[in-house]
Structure 1
Amino acid sequence: MKQAITTLSISVLFGLAVTGCDNSAKVPTADKVPTADKAADSTSSNASTPITIGYSDWPGFVAWQVAIEKGWLKEAGLNVDFKWFDYSASLSAFAANQLDAVLVTNGDNLVNASGGTKGMMIMVTDYSAGNDVIIAKEGINSISDLKGKSVATEKGLVDHLLLSTALDDSKIPATDVKLVNSVTNELPQVFTSKDISAIAVWQPVANQALKAVAGSKIIYTSKDKPGLIYDTLSVNASHLSAHKEDWKKLIQVWDKTVKYIQDPATHADAVKIMANRVGVDPAQYEQFIDGTHLLDLAANKQVFAKGDGFDSIYGSTYHVNKFNVSNGIYKAEVDADGLIYPSLVEELK
C-alpha cells in the first residue's frame, strides 16, 4: 500500500463531513441509476470494456497477480484490468469514479463513504495476521508496561488503531500513554530517540526499526487481534448493480487463487509471482505472506455472517467506525451495514 507493505488506513486523505448513507446494503437497481451512470453502465456491459480494479502493495492484494498471470480471469470469461497504484492514489482514483472497484481496508472504506464515495464491500481478501506490530525498547515486555511512556505512530492510520485496541484490552486509558505523531516511514529514526519507548508500525518498516534499536522487540501484533484489520474488495454501487454475475465470477477466481497460494505443491510458484510483482526476494516475501491471513470463499461465508466480534466483517467495521469518530477522522459514525454486501458470497457454492 503506502510505499511498501502496509494495511494503512489513509483516513487523513479524506477530512470531509459525513454524507448520508443507505440504511441497508442494497445496491441501487439499474432503473434508479442516474442518467449519466446508465450510459456508463451501458458501455461497461460491452465485453470489450474491462472492469477496472485498483490494487496496491499488500500481500492480500498482490495475490491477484497470480490470477492475472495464470490467465484465470480470462478463463472465467472476465475482462478485467487491474491497475497498479500507491494505496492512497487508488482510493483517490476510486473516489473520482476512475475505477469500478478498489482493494481497501474496511476502515478506509468507511472514510471513503464519509466523503461521499459509497463502495460496497462484496468480499474480504484477508486480515492482517502479524504484519502490523508494536515494537518496544529493552525493558518493556508488554502493553501494560507502556503506561506513562511515549509511543510514536502515525495518528489516524491503521497502527494507531492497533495501538488503541491493545491499550483498551489492557485497560489502559489512552491518556496514560503519550502519543507522538510521526510519519510512518520515519518511525525507525524516531524510535532511536531516547524519549520514545515504543512505536506502532507495519512491515517492512517494522524490520527497519528493529535493526535500528538494539534490544528492541515486538510486544504485540495484529496476529493477537485477528480480524481487527480486514482488507476488502469494494465495488462502485452502480457497477455492482449492473454486473453482479461478473462480480460473482471474480469471487470464484479469488477462491481459486487462495487455494493455489495455500497448496504446498504450488505455494512456491505463487510466492515467486507475488514477490516479482513488488521487486522483493521470494524468501523475504514469505514473511509478509505469513503475516497475511488470506480468506477463500468458505472463509468469506463465515466472515460475512453478522456479528459483533472481530470474526465478522460487521463487528470489525463497527469497531473501526467508533475509532475513526473518536479520533476526529470524521464527525459521526458512517452507516457500516449499508457498505457491507454479503449477497454474492452467500449465493456462491
Structure 2
Amino acid sequence: MRIWDLFRSSGKALSVLGVAAALLVARVAQAAEPLRIGYSDWPGWVAWQVAIEKGWLKQAGIDARFEWFDYSASMDAFSAGKLDAVTCTNGDALVMGGNGAKNVMIMLTDYSNGNDMIVGKPGVTALTALKGKKVGLEVGLVEHLLLIDGLRKAGMSEADVTLVNAKTNETPQILASGDVAAIGAWQPIAGEAMRAAPGARPLYTSADQPGLIYDVVTVTPSSLAARRADWIKLVGLWDKVVAYIEDPKTQPDAVAIMASKVGVAPAVFTRFLKGTKLLTLAEGRAVMKDAEGFGSLYGSSRQADAFNVKFEVYKAPQDVKASIDPALTDGK
C-alpha cells in the first residue's frame, strides 16, 4: 500500500497528521516573532540598554524586543504568558516557577554586591533596633530573603518584626511616612528612599552576604526549545556589553545610556554599578556549577527554594537542576 493510500484509509492517521501540521505552523509562527524580554531598573539588567542603543542586537542577527517594566510587573507579565523571558533574581525565578510559570535560567548577569538593602528610618541604626517594629517590603521576594538573612546573623528571626507587604517602588513613600521602621529595596529605589527620609541609612546589604542574590535571564521552556539558537546568540552578546561598561574609555558612554533609561544622573548611576558585580560569561559559567553554598547558582537557588517553601511562597520544593541550563553560555 502506498503512503498516500494509507493516510486516505485511516482517519486516525489524518488526525495525527493534522495535529503535527498545526504544531509545525505554530512553531514557524513563533519563530517569526521577536523574542519578548522583560527588563527593569536593576543595573545588571539596564546593561542590556547599551546593546539596544548601540544596535548590537541587529548586528548579531537577534530579533528581540526588550520591554520595560517595574520589577514585579515584569514577572506578572511573564507569568501571564506575555513574555518569552524576564530578568529577575534566581530566587524570584523559582517563585514564578513554584506558582505555575515554569522557566529556565540560561545566564547570569551579575550578583548583588551592596545594592539590595534593608534601610532603617532616621534614628534606626541597627537591625537589632527593628525588634517589635514594622518593616515594609515585597513579601516573598528578594528583599524578604535579604531581611531574613540579616536577622539570622543578628540573632533574631522574622517573628521579631512585623512585615508590611508593599511594592518595592512604593517603599520610599512608606519609609518617609514614618509608618515603618525600615524598608527593603534595591538601587535606585533604595537611594530614593534615603533621599526621601534624610538620615535614613542601610542596616544590612547584599555586600554582607555575597552570592545570596544572583541576577539572571530566565526563559519559558517552550521558547527555549523552539528558539534555542536565538537565545544562544543573545547570551553570546553579553561579554560585549560587559566589556563596554567596564572599559574606562567607553564606560562614560555606557553609564550615560543606562542612567538616562533609569532617569538618574550619570554620577548617581556610577555608584549603583559599584554595588553590582557584573559577570562575564566565563565568570557566570564558574558560578553555574552544581555545588552547595552561595558561591554557586545551584546552591544559592536551593537555599532560596527552602526559604520560599518555609515561608509558604509556594508549597512544594522545586527541582533546581531542572530550572537551570548552563550550556547556553558555552554556545550549546
Interval of TM-score (by shorter of Structure 1 and Structure 2): 0.7 to 0.9
Aligned to 2:73: 89
In structure 1, runs of 5+ residues without a counterpart are 1-32
Q: CA deviation at 1:81?
A: 1.8
CA contact (8 A) 2:89 2:142 kept: no
Aligned to 1:311: 295
Aligned to 2:15: none
Q: CA deviation at 1:38?
A: 4.4
Residue from 187, 206, 219 that aligns with 1:235:
219
CA contact (8 A) 2:92 2:141 kept: no
Deviations 1:177-197 (A, max 9, x none): 344445545544544677754
Match for 2:274: what amino acid? D
**Does residue 1:39 correspond to 2:39, yes or no?**
no
CA pair 274-195 structure 1, distance change in 2 beyond 3 A: closer
Aligned to 1:257: 241
User: Which aligned pairs between 1:140-219 and structure 2 lie closer than 5 A?
Assistant: 141-191=125-175, 196-213=180-197, 215-219=199-203
User: Which aligned pairs between 1:58-77 and structure 2 lie closer than 5 A?
Assistant: 58-77=42-61
Deviations 1:110-131 (A, max 9, x none): 1221232211100011122222
Deviations 1:25-61 (A, max 9, x none): xxxxxxxx99766433222334xx3222222222211
Distance (Å, rounded) in 2 between the aligned partners of 1:34 and 1:327: 43
Aligned residue pairs, count: 314
CA pair 207-275 structure 1, distance change in 2 beyond 3 A: closer
Aligned to 2:3: none
User: Which aligned pairs between 1:320-331 and structure 2 lie closer than 5 A?
Assistant: 320-331=304-315
CA contact (8 A) 2:106 2:219 kept: yes
Distance (Å, rounded) in 1 between the aligned partners of 2:236 and 2:52: 14
Provide the TM-score with structure 1 as the length reference.
Answer: 0.80
SS at match of 2:237: helix
CA contact (8 A) 1:93 1:99 kept: yes
Aligned to 2:64: 80
SS at match of 2:298: helix
Distance (Å, rounded) in 2 between the aligned partners of 1:36 and 1:340: 30
SS at match of 1:164: helix
Q: Which has the higher contact order (CA 8 A, sep 6+)?
A: 1
Provide the TM-score with structure 2 as the length reference.
Answer: 0.84
CA pair 209-278 structure 1, distance change in 2 beyond 3 A: closer
SS at match of 1:248: helix
Q: CA deviation at 1:347?
A: 4.8
Deviations 1:139-162 (A, max 9, x none): 654434544554443422321211
